[in-house]
Every structure is written in structure tokens, then in C-alpha cells.
Amino acid sequence: MTTTTTLDMTQLLSQIQDTLFDRADTVCLERAQLVAQAYRQHANEPTPIKRAMALDHLLMHMTLDLQSNPIFAGNTSTKPRA
């Protein structure tokens, strides 16, 4: 990796960090709805199974955001800091 490439990557990571930390915390309604659906579907299961099934449901159905952060693709919520 050249010095220029390292510098560019450092600047890019710094911009991403600034973008993430400048935003206010929010709640992701899509995530909350998906987890609630899974908990309702598995209401009679033990808590660890319920949590695992909720994560599975979330990963299978959540909208994937590849645009807002090109370096770290993927997300756990619809917006950064949610």
C-alpha cells in the first residue's frame, strides 16, 4: 500500500467516523417491527431461542443499506446511530 493510498484511506475513514458521530441517536422502526414480529411468532419458546429467531428474522427481512457507507457494507438499522 502506498503512502497516498494510506492517506486517502485514513481521510475516508475519518470522514465516515465524523458522519457517524455527528448524527443524533434515533430508533429504527423497521428493526423494532421485525423483532416484535419474531417475538410474537415464537412467544412460547425459551428466551434464548426467541432471541435467536428474532435475529434470524431480522437478518432475513431487514432492508440492506449499501449506499450510506461504501467501506463497511451492511447495517443493523435503517440509519446510522439508530
Q: Would you list the domain boundaries of the chain? A: 3-61
Cα R_g (the chain), whole angstroms = 17
pLDDT value of residue 10: 86
**CA distance linking residue 4 with residue 66, whole number of Å:** 26
**CA distance linking residue 40 with residue 29, whole number of Å:** 16
pLDDT in tens, 27-76: 889 999 999 999 999 999 999 999 999 999 998 998 877 776 666 666 66
Q: pTM (2 decimals)? A: 0.64
Torsion of CA 18, 59, 31, 77, to 10 degrees: 10
How distant is the alpha carbon of residue 69 from its chain centre?
Answer: 11
pLDDT value of residue 11: 86
